[in-house]
Amino acid sequence: MHNIQSLNSLRPYNQDSYSNKQGLLAEDPIDRSQGGHAFGAYYNIVCAVCGTGMLGLSQAIARGGWGAIALLLLAWWMVSYGSVILIKCLYHPRKQTTRINSFKDITEDAFGKLGGWLCFFFIAWVLLGSPILYLVLIGQNMNQICRDSAGEIGSIPWTIIWSVIIAIPFVLMKTMKEVAWTSLIGTTACFVSVIMLIVMVGIDSPTHAANAVRSNIIWEGFPTSLATIGFSMGGNVIYPNVEASMRRPESWSKTVVIALTTCAMLYIVIAVPGYYVYGQDVSNPLYNSITEGPAQTVIIVLVTINILVSVPIFLTSFALDIESMANVTVARYGKYCEFALRAVIRVSTMVFCTVVACAVPYFDYLMSLFGAFGSCTSIFIIPVLCYWRLTGFRNKPIWENAWCAFVLVFGFVGLIFGSWGAVTDLIQAFREDSAAATTAP
């Protein structure tokens, strides 16, 4: 193995000095001559982070009171920091001389194969949890759109129908590149729906705000609120791929901070008015709180379009990881056998997500659960632990280690108590539905 050289000697531009304990950097084997600009990375990050999560932030504040806004601001700062150190970890491998490729590979290099598999377990909660959440919402939205018509067949049948439709491009389109074009459609629909939501909330303000019940701080609701906020700020599982696509990766830190700042500002703009106008009664998703009518229907359609094009992106990312670990390639199995194996993996993945979405049709509680168990680990806990392991602990200033420790505590609170609260809410929802079914004539 050749000696690791300074990254500055390996590239025709100046790279951020991601120095490890030895002051050395891993070699970057990526050909960046055809890479994209920082704006493209900014766009990809905003697309990955902003989505249906913003629809639940008003309820997140309702569960924690106005004080939950502080959680949103803290999460913004912590996720920005974690996103920077996560990419630093790519260039500080312990067991190889080249740049680490993926999120899972970072933890495997830091903590061995067990660490890699644990990381993959938590990542799966994000990559599978988001599609499950979206399938639940698709079923609810379609049934709501078709209300009082022959199309009102129930949320679960609509979930199954759209799962079959989504499975077609998911199986046929092999890579992320082939499904990435859909992000433009989804993002456009998302931003238009947000603008319409803000307008509708403003219209409802004179009739709802005066009677809304609001609280300054609800301490027992903080963990669940944090879990929902964590889900809304999640997205760093794809950041190694985004950084790899940049022509000038030294712009990463600035790009990701600006992108996450954009997301945070957008979240505040939609979350604060929603809680102010509707108070404790605000719904998740938020559009269920606004006055019924054509505008609400248009918003529901736009949100449905957004999540329809988002599901294949998450599922394809998960499937590619599985296929890579199983070494499902054309070179190994041949063109037709490889396609058959890939189809089996992807159809099985789609069936699993559909079954869970039909069995647990509780959008808001699922968002809290996936946010607590998946997002809190991937955006708060794992980046800090890997950063300490790969770059050292004692070589950092006291203030930075103190901040990292605070981030860890923040993440573990969301993971433990947020998961507990979400599971408790799910159990209560199941019991209420069972009781209602028993007493129904």
The DSSP string of 292-323 is PSHHHHHHHHHHHHHHHHHHHHHHHHHHHHHH
pLDDT tens, residue by residue, 250-286:
889 999 999 899 889 888 988 999 999 999 999 888 8
Read off the pLDDT band of 182 (50, 70, 90). low
Average pLDDT over residues 416-423: 85
Number of Cβ atoms within 10 Å of the Cβ of 427: 11
pLDDT tens, residue by residue, 291-337:
888 999 999 999 888 888 778 878 887 888 888 788 888 888 888 89
Read off the pLDDT band of 22 (50, 70, 90). very low
Report the range out of 66-70, 99-103, 133-137, 325-329 with the highest average pLDDT: 66-70
pTM of the model: 0.80
Distance between the two ends of the chain, CA-based, in angstroms? 75
Q: What percent of the chain is modeled with pLDDT above 70?
A: 89
232 φ/ψ angles, rounded to the nearest 5 degrees: -70, -25
Among candidate residues 278, 234, 246, the one with its CA nearest the CA of residue 51: 234
pLDDT tens, residue by residue, 72-92:
999 999 999 999 999 999 998
pLDDT tens, residue by residue, 349-363:
999 999 999 988 777
10 secondary structure, DSSP code: T
Average pLDDT over residues 229-243: 82
pLDDT tens, residue by residue, 155-171:
999 999 999 999 988 88
Q: In the numeric block, which tokens belong to residue 218?
A: 């609800």
Q: Indicate the SS3 state at residue 212.
A: coil
Residue in the structure block whose two tokens are 């050749």: 2
